[in-house]
Structure 1
Amino acid sequence: MKKFILLFTIVLVAAQIQAQDTTSVKVLKKNIVTVNEEPNKTEVSIMNDKINIQDNNFSDTTTIRVGRRNIEIIEGGSKTYVNMTKAIDSDDNECTWRRYKKKFNGHWSGFEIGVNGFYDTNYSMYDDPTNEFMDLNQSASLEVNLNFVEYNITLVPQRLGIVSGFGLQYNNYKFDNPVTIDKGDDGIIEWLPVDDSNFKKSKLTVSYLTLPIMLEWQIPVNDHSNYFFISGGMVGGLNLGSHTKIKANSSKSKDKGSFNINPFKYSVIGRIGLRDFSVYATYSLSDLFKDNKGPELTPFTIGICLVNF
């Protein structure tokens, strides 16, 4: 229970924004997450570089290293591809992830990918409320989750428990039209047209440090060799940063800023699965943008867990 209480304390006091373009989240003076944004790339290091993410601004490939697994997310013209390989040359002492037997072992830690969307939209604060400039190319608007810490509290051994931990979340909102967004002189989010003669893609990316609180029920199947599980609860998020990215022919541009994103978000979450495979869905109870600083948008995500560790 002490660990469970500690998690809430961490969310309130852990975030520290350092100089220039580096954001660090510390727990007991140790870096849990470090985000370093440079002109040509964005790099994220988690838990002393046990997990490393690199997003090259001049490439359509995001590379993720999780222990001995390498994951590449490649954005094509209209599709996104995910390649997973296993590293050959690795230090097993540093890169092997172990799952310890517990009275109750929940399902949170792992690599997940999902599709983003907006359930409810309201542009009434704009002169033309019919211009829904945040319309998404939904199939290419992906959420990527790296849930790197998991804590479990047993309520009923091998049946019922509380699951929590930490995760790193990337939400990509790929615009369906040749537009991008920026803060206007009045501080309100406005849309800006992009030359559609050479336009290929435009998107908004928002990253969060996440903290779930879920109740999970497990049902043994196949003579107790596997477990079918159902879980639900809440996920809180601390905004770590955001940027827009435009690609036109071979040229690319990236603009970093707050874009009036809410500093905190909270969502309901539900998941269902068998063993290490699961399907999840989240529905946000907070808007993407701050009140009266942009359109009212209610995000949701539907996804799957691809790698469990």
Structure 2
Amino acid sequence: MKKTTFTIIFLSLALYMAASSTFPADTTFHYNNRKVVISENDNEINISVYHRNEQGDTIESRKVYEGIFTEGRSIERIYANSFEISVPDIFKPKSKRRPSRSHWAGFGVGFSNLPQGLDFDRELASIVNLSRSLQYNLNPIEGSWRIGNSNFTGIVGMGIQFNSIHWQNNKAIEVEDYKSVITTTEPGNEYRDSRLHYTYLTFPFLIETNWDLGRRSHFFVNAGVVAKVKTASSSAVWRNNENGKKEKTKLPGEMNIRPVTLDLLAQGGVNDLGFFISYSPFNLFRNNKGPEANQATIGVQLYF
């Protein structure tokens, strides 16, 4: 299949170059069950090869190859069964980087809050130290596929999400009678710091589309759900010891963070830099095992 495809590409490109004065800017060739579309824009030639599959009255056309050719350089993509495992562009030479691509793999950081539903004045949200409550996302694995002949792409992958929620200095999350509860220190005995940590493995399913901005730039948006599996959680406070030095105390007990949950996620941006907004419709804690709270986060992401 690859040999046939490259033969078609070579012959089509040669024919197009030889007869460029008679062909229009956009040209389509048909060869057996292949369709070759050639277009030219600003001294850039784009060749796309589609596999045509006829079943009764239905004709399915699936892209199997795309090549972009300019003076002194070329960019080529092969679509195997409509699914593509993306090698991060950061590891490729500039001449091999894609003009547009899917967006999951990367590193991001955002500010988190813990409203109840969409009420940001409830129990946990009212004691969160917003300037220090952060979410970190490291997403090393990404796979994508084009959805039919549309401009939409499906994205799956895997990542790691680390959450560090800091409280007001007189508050902490502790476990009492197997439940996670908010505790308050005596006046004059405040903590130097108080925080809750929890970490997830993340598995996204996103739909993305993008628009060409010219000069090898594109604007993208995607949205979908991210399944999350908890791997660790802990609560800790810091006090001054008798020598005036900051001393950490890890609070005992299982924090009752929900073991499996999901986020609603939306992302957008230009090229390799974007923003994200996420919201979990499920309670952060297990049912009847902790305060009612949903996590909401907004941040920036650098895509690999």
Give the shorter-chain TM-score range.
0.5 to 0.7
Task: Give the 3-state SS of the residue equivalent to 1:176 in structure 2.
Answer: coil
> Of residues 232, 247, 258 in structure 2, which corresponds to 1:241?
232
Aligned to 2:199: 207
- Aligned CA-pair RMSD: 2.7
1:308 equivalenced with 2:300 (yes/no): no
1:206 aligned partner, one-letter code: Y
Rounded Cα–Cα distance in structure 2 between residues aligned with 1:263 and 1:209:
11
Paired residues for 1:50-199 under 5 Å: 98=91, 105-120=101-116, 135-155=127-147, 159-185=151-177, 187-194=178-185, 196-197=188-189, 199=191
Rounded Cα–Cα distance in structure 2 between residues aligned with 1:210 and 1:289:
17
**Stretch deviating more after TM superposition (191-200 or 237-246):** 191-200
Rounded Cα–Cα distance in structure 2 between residues aligned with 1:107 and 1:239:
23
CA 222–206 in structure 1, closer or farther in 2 if over 3 Å, else same: same
Rounded Cα–Cα distance in structure 2 between residues aligned with 1:179 and 1:261:
18
Question: What per-residue deviation string (whole Å, max 9, x for no partner) do you get for residues 7-37 of structure 1?
Answer: xxxxxxxxxxxxxxxxxxxxxxxxxxxxxxx
TM-score (norm 1): 0.60
Deviation (angstroms), 1:256: 5.9
> Of residues 284, 287, 290 in structure 2, which corresponds to 1:291?
287
CA 210–148 in structure 1, closer or farther in 2 if over 3 Å, else same: same
Deviation (angstroms), 1:118: 1.8
1:251 aligned partner, one-letter code: E
Deviation (angstroms), 1:134: 6.8
**Stretch deviating more after TM superposition (154-163 or 273-282):** 154-163
Deviation (angstroms), 1:112: 0.3
- The answer for unaligned runs of 5 or more in structure 2 is 1-88, 241-245
Aligned to 1:79: none
Aligned-residue sequence identity (percent) comes to 26
Deviation (angstroms), 1:155: 2.3
Task: Give the 3-state SS of the residue equivalent to 2:115 in structure 1.
Answer: strand
CA 177–260 in structure 1, closer or farther in 2 if over 3 Å, else same: same
CA 97–133 in structure 1, closer or farther in 2 if over 3 Å, else same: closer
TM-score (norm 2): 0.61
Contact 1:144-1:169 at 8 Å conserved across structures: yes
Contact 1:143-1:170 at 8 Å conserved across structures: yes
> Of residues 212, 218, 223 in structure 2, which corresponds to 1:220?
212
Contact 1:153-1:162 at 8 Å conserved across structures: yes
Question: What per-residue deviation string (whole Å, max 9, x for no partner) do you get for residues 182-241 of structure 1?
Answer: 2212x2222333465462210001100001111000101024x11100100001100001
CA 235–158 in structure 1, closer or farther in 2 if over 3 Å, else same: same
- The answer for unaligned runs of 5 or more in structure 1 is 1-95, 123-129
- When the two structures are aligned, how many residues end up with a matched partner? 204
Deviation (angstroms), 1:181: 1.7
Deviation (angstroms), 1:121: 6.3
Contact 2:158-2:204 at 8 Å conserved across structures: yes
CA 247–277 in structure 1, closer or farther in 2 if over 3 Å, else same: same
CA 151–193 in structure 1, closer or farther in 2 if over 3 Å, else same: same
> Of residues 251, 263, 267 in structure 1, which corresponds to 2:259?
263
